[in-house]
Structure 1
Amino acid sequence: MAELRMSRRVMNLATLLRQAARRVPDGVGLVWGERSWRWAEIEARAGAIATGLIGMGLGKGDRVLVHSKNCEQMFAAQFAVFRIGAVWVPTNFRLLADEVVDLARMAKVSAFLCHPDFPGHAAAVADVVQRVVMLGAEMEALIAAHAGAPCTTAAVEYDDPCWFFFTSGTTGRSKASVLTHGQMAFVVNNHLADLLPGTNERDASLVVAPLSHGAGVHQLTQVARAAKTVLLPTDRFDVAEAWRLIAEHLVTNLFTVPTILKLLAEHPDAAPHALRHVIYAGAPMYRADQRMILQRLGKVIVQYFGLGEVTGNITYLRPDQHEAEDGPAARMGTCGFERTGMEVQIQDEAGRVLPPCETGEICVIGPAVFAGYFDNPEANAKAFRDGWFRTGDLGHMDAEGFLYITGRASDMYISGGSNIHPREVEEKLLTHPDVAECAVLGVPDALWGEVGVAAVVPRGAGDEAALLAWMGEKMPRYKIPKRVFFLDEMPKSGYGKVPKRLVRDALEARGLLPLAKA
């Protein structure tokens, strides 16, 4: 029997927008400030942008760098880039101009779409990219010039790139994770099945994070179901304004990170309203915060664990599996069980599968795993082993398959021969009534090799001696940080996370690290 060659042709992701416009053309698809756009309008504007990009000579496989705050044009442009078969390459809009130039070179981009608030970035990138389009008036002129022009949707195959998702290692050096049309179609379906069951055109989603990363993936699911997206009116996160919009638009879901969710739940206006799915990811949530949020909002929170390389698809914990009261049912510390269609293993350094409750590296395989890092064979060699993606996170699974994250392999430090996982110490610290936020990291020590230091945001006046004495009653001596440093606020990334490297930088800038020799 002759060998059959199966086609790898898949749907172009831009089709999600076309389908929404066909089903509910007059339904509101996007709200931003005082303006709103119907699905038919968004589809028409995306088509005009696509035609304009083709007129510039762009097409399948070309990479389009995008440096923008959340706005309507950015929302529409993403589907325009998908439509022509090009690759969406969004940045964190808080990056400096020279950092964006580095990304442009690294991703070998063909064009640059830039928000009008960043003319300096546009000028800098123009030296390495020939085609630069400013959002705002210039983009509106492009849309007007190509309004109504026919534009076909590029044919794509499963492995054709559609998105370069920038991720950072412990050094902070960015890598471009290659996401593909076939992979992202699976991700959209998986998010809808596991995180947002029942979502449809009567739903609404509030965006409280940059569309360049996880929030942008979340919004693809809203487009797939023709659910309305509501953008905050400015790039500054305003908790009161967020709750006003949630109430006004009957918002049913949102995607955020634990630090932002904590701010939302602590606000006096916090109330469930119409919320059904409040999804948090990007970092584990501390148990003290989880209890508070459940008490304020009820069982509407959904956790998922997943890196950009796996587009969030590793594990999830449903709303009904979140418990406000401690006990066996609470499964304290778990980030849930495997996402539909994905497999997770805990492996040792040799790649052997570890039995339940033993700690090792969290490894994952399945359709949501990315195609690899762009133009980075060294990183790819480290990231994959026998087909499994190595997350770099440490954890264990119980006998029922619930996953528990211990921490990043790179965060663990060794003090006097003992492995110490900062998250365990942080969980204890956050049970102290005077500790609002904290981060623990290992630093060099002449006697012990490494010791821990804790950066703490106190609720009142910080007392290092009292806090260290309190920790002495809560954990073994070898796990207690050598020093506690108090900060007015914790340094956060543009996505609301608290990377350990930023905490270390903040302590070094204050002259608190390295520690003085005893």
Structure 2
Amino acid sequence: MNYFDWIGKWAEYTPDKVAVAAADDSLSYTFRELHEASLKVENSLRKEFGVKEKDRLPVLAQHSPQFLILFLAAQRMGAILVPLNYRSSAFEIQYYIEDIDPKLLFADVELFQNKLGEIKQKIDLPVISLKALFESAEKFSSNTSPSNIEPDRPVFIFYTSGTTGKPKGVLYTNRMLFWNSLNTSVQLEITSGDYTLNALPPYHTSGWNVLLLPMLHRGARVDFMSRFKAKKVLNYIENKQISLFLAIPTMLRMMVKNKNFQNFKNSNLRYMVVGGENLSIPIIDAWAEKGIMLRQGYGLTEAGPCITSLHHHDALWKKGSIGKPNFYVDYKIVNEQNEEVGVNEPGEFCIHGNIVTPGYWNNSTYTYQKIRDRWLHTGDIVRMDADGFMYVIGRKNQSYISGGVNIFPLEIEQVLVKRELVKEAAVIGVDDEQWGEVGVAFVEKNSITSEAEILKELKRYLASYKIPREIIFLDSLPKSGIGKIDRNKLKNDYNHLKNEKRNIV
């Protein structure tokens, strides 16, 4: 029995139920149509385009039902899908392509015509439009036996930006996909009656493995919105029977700021799933006033990504927590000597089990650095309270040492954001002759907050050595493709910003 062919099984159980649809137009697929379309695309990949097992298939396109069908076809035949970040420059995409050495590139040619033109100048690689792929698929029959899906075969390569060096390609296997889906569906209580809107991009694991694939595993429905727009998402959630929704904090802030939020009424949404970065208390409270609890969690591309979850019933009394570890997750919190720490003691979060990546594409050195004795060392510093709830303190490689003391930027940022001193904040360490390193805070200022108020409030909650030496105000903080603050860019731009003397304290 093929345990991983979920769509094939639902095509037998509920063939006429709508499985996926496009929020931007009238396109939809039932489970039977989804299953048959993926078999046709698989045949096209094999017979028309010569794709074989283990081939890497880079895709430059927005998320859509067609992207999902291409994934299902690649999964069955053992090819590896590589969703490319369409927000990356042509130079960055060139690096991804050269790293995976593919035979061809699939793309939404009309949407990314200019970027593809730049790429073609550097790389001699056939570019196949998704439209041409699906037109070709119609020539083939779906009356073929599905291929057997092997558990340990990679099905994705996701590139992570990282904090040092070039992006790393994380291998994601069918085994990871299966156990992550079990973790997610049990913890989030997903049923076949659920309905979600996917507004996250395909180039990040969250766009696939937080709700999309676990929902389909349970026979639920997923609609795709190609690009996130706050007003459109609010209207969609309100007017459709959306029961679960996944967002990153940036999306939630944009929705709260939208003028339609004031009159937004929740009819069917049980809760929202949130992850990616620090979430401010005012945002939590704004959604709570609408009767919507936020289920914060922790995840990473290399494992799951669904590792911990804060139950929505605990959302208000454990604000700021990432919850408790999910089902089927082995974990430990260790100090520098790899010894497990006690209650409320900070340590590195380590994970082991079926949800952990086998390694990084074409990078065995980095694999050995991150996965030691079968334990994935996440680089995240956490603590667990007496009730078993976990809190992220910061990143091991984002901490800096000032006067011999480790300082974690997240601790400072949480004071700035949660006390509503600023809209967003990022703290980095910079070289200093006297102290080794000192902190610099980059902030998006609230209109009523002055520099003096910020420093006064920081001194109320933090030791003096943790107070940033400089505060630099920006109109907005630079973001990565998934909406996280780009600390590398801030660090690289620090001297330029300092020389401009833009409100440096």
The question of a shared fold, defined as TM-score above 0.5 by the shorter chain, is answered with: yes
Which residue, out of 2, 7, 22, partners 1:17? 7
Residue 131 of structure 1, CA deviation: 4.4
C-alpha contact (below 8 Å) 1:104/1:125 kept by paired residues:
no
Which residue, out of 220, 232, 241, partners 1:227? 220
Residue 489 of structure 1, CA deviation: 1.5
- Cα distance per residue 1:325-354 (max 9 Å; x no partner): xxxxx2343211111011211112232212
Residues 1:70 and 1:332: Cα distance change in structure 2 (over 3 Å): closer
* AA in 2 matched with 1:45: A
Give yes or no for the alignment of 1:64 onto 2:51. no
Cα distance in 1 for partners of 2:469, 2:387 equals: 37
C-alpha contact (below 8 Å) 1:100/1:121 kept by paired residues:
no
Give yes or no for the alignment of 1:54 onto 2:46. yes
Cα distance in 1 for partners of 2:323, 2:359 equals: 26
Give yes or no for the alignment of 1:287 onto 2:281. yes
Residues 1:512 and 1:388: Cα distance change in structure 2 (over 3 Å): farther
C-alpha contact (below 8 Å) 1:507/1:513 kept by paired residues:
no
Cα distance in 2 for partners of 1:340, 1:20 equals: 24
SS in 1 for 2:223: strand
SS in 2 for 1:35: coil
* AA in 2 matched with 1:368: I
Give yes or no for the alignment of 1:357 onto 2:357. no
TM-score by length of 1: 0.89
- Cα distance per residue 1:34-72 (max 9 Å; x no partner): 213122322222222111100122122111111111223
User: How big is the alpha-carbon RMSD for the aligned residues of Structure 1 and Structure 2?
Assistant: 2.5
Cα distance in 1 for partners of 2:75, 2:303 equals: 20
Superposed counterparts of 1:136-215, under 5 Å: 136=131, 138-146=132-140, 148-171=141-164, 173-195=166-188, 197-200=189-192, 202-213=193-204, 214-215=206-207
Cα distance in 2 for partners of 1:360, 1:165 equals: 27
Cα distance in 2 for partners of 1:382, 1:515 equals: 40
Superposed counterparts of 1:275-354, under 5 Å: 275-299=269-293, 301-323=294-316, 330-354=317-341
- Cα distance per residue 1:423-460 (max 9 Å; x no partner): 11111112444521111111112222111111111221
- Structure 1 range deviating more: 275-284 or 426-435: 426-435
- Structure 1 range deviating more: 104-113 or 86-95: 104-113
Residue 259 of structure 1, CA deviation: 1.9
Residues 1:10 and 1:131: Cα distance change in structure 2 (over 3 Å): farther
Cα distance in 1 for partners of 2:116, 2:12 equals: 36
C-alpha contact (below 8 Å) 2:37/2:69 kept by paired residues:
yes
- Cα distance per residue 1:68-124 (max 9 Å; x no partner): 112232122111111211111111111122221211121232331111222344452
C-alpha contact (below 8 Å) 2:381/2:396 kept by paired residues:
yes
Cα distance in 1 for partners of 2:11, 2:121 equals: 35
Superposed counterparts of 1:455-470, under 5 Å: 455-460=442-447, 463-470=450-457
Cα distance in 1 for partners of 2:191, 2:202 equals: 20
What is aligned with 1:254? Answer: 245
Residues 1:478 and 1:278: Cα distance change in structure 2 (over 3 Å): same
C-alpha contact (below 8 Å) 1:11/1:181 kept by paired residues:
no
Cα distance in 1 for partners of 2:478, 2:291 equals: 27
* AA in 2 matched with 1:256: A
Cα distance in 1 for partners of 2:458, 2:125 equals: 58
- Structure 1 range deviating more: 384-393 or 165-174: 165-174
Residue 504 of structure 1, CA deviation: 2.9
TM-score by length of 2: 0.91
* AA in 2 matched with 1:16: W
SS in 2 for 1:312: strand
What is aligned with 2:267? Answer: 273
Cα distance in 2 for partners of 1:506, 1:432 equals: 27
Residue 193 of structure 1, CA deviation: 0.6
- Cα distance per residue 1:208-261 (max 9 Å; x no partner): 2102321211211122123222222x52x3111101111222111121212212
Cα distance in 2 for partners of 1:399, 1:473 equals: 25
Give yes or no for the alignment of 1:29 onto 2:19. yes
What is aligned with 1:428? Answer: 415
Residue 505 of structure 1, CA deviation: 4.1
Residues 1:170 and 1:321: Cα distance change in structure 2 (over 3 Å): same
* Unaligned ranges ≥5, structure 2: none
* Unaligned ranges ≥5, structure 1: 1-8, 324-329
SS in 2 for 1:268: helix
Residue 318 of structure 1, CA deviation: 0.9
Cα distance in 2 for partners of 1:112, 1:105 equals: 12
What is aligned with 1:5? Answer: none
Which residue, out of 64, 85, 95, partners 1:92? 85
Residues 1:429 and 1:59: Cα distance change in structure 2 (over 3 Å): same
Percent identical: 26
Residues 1:347 and 1:125: Cα distance change in structure 2 (over 3 Å): farther
* AA in 2 matched with 1:294: A
Cα distance in 2 for partners of 1:222, 1:298 equals: 20
SS in 2 for 1:93: coil
Cα distance in 2 for partners of 1:512, 1:331 equals: 42
C-alpha contact (below 8 Å) 2:380/2:394 kept by paired residues:
yes
- Structure 1 range deviating more: 435-444 or 395-404: 395-404
Give yes or no for the alignment of 1:133 onto 2:120. no
Cα distance in 2 for partners of 1:25, 1:172 equals: 47
Which residue, out of 90, 104, 108, partners 2:97? 104
Runs of 4+ in 1 over 6 A off after TM superposition: 513-518
Cα distance in 2 for partners of 1:289, 1:172 equals: 34
- Cα distance per residue 1:250-286 (max 9 Å; x no partner): 1111212122123224432443321113111122323
Which residue, out of 216, 228, 236, partners 2:208? 216
Residues 1:271 and 1:37: Cα distance change in structure 2 (over 3 Å): same
C-alpha contact (below 8 Å) 2:106/2:130 kept by paired residues:
yes
Cα distance in 1 for partners of 2:263, 2:175 equals: 41
Cα distance in 1 for partners of 2:439, 2:267 equals: 42
C-alpha contact (below 8 Å) 1:265/1:296 kept by paired residues:
no
Residues 1:154 and 1:126: Cα distance change in structure 2 (over 3 Å): farther
Residue 191 of structure 1, CA deviation: 0.9
Residues 1:142 and 1:183: Cα distance change in structure 2 (over 3 Å): same
Cα distance in 2 for partners of 1:165, 1:433 equals: 34
C-alpha contact (below 8 Å) 2:41/2:134 kept by paired residues:
no
* AA in 2 matched with 1:24: T
What is aligned with 2:36? Answer: 44
Residues 1:429 and 1:44: Cα distance change in structure 2 (over 3 Å): same
SS in 2 for 1:311: strand
Residues 1:461 and 1:172: Cα distance change in structure 2 (over 3 Å): farther
Give yes or no for the alignment of 1:392 onto 2:375. no
Give yes or no for the alignment of 1:73 onto 2:70. no
* AA in 2 matched with 1:424: E
SS in 2 for 1:157: coil
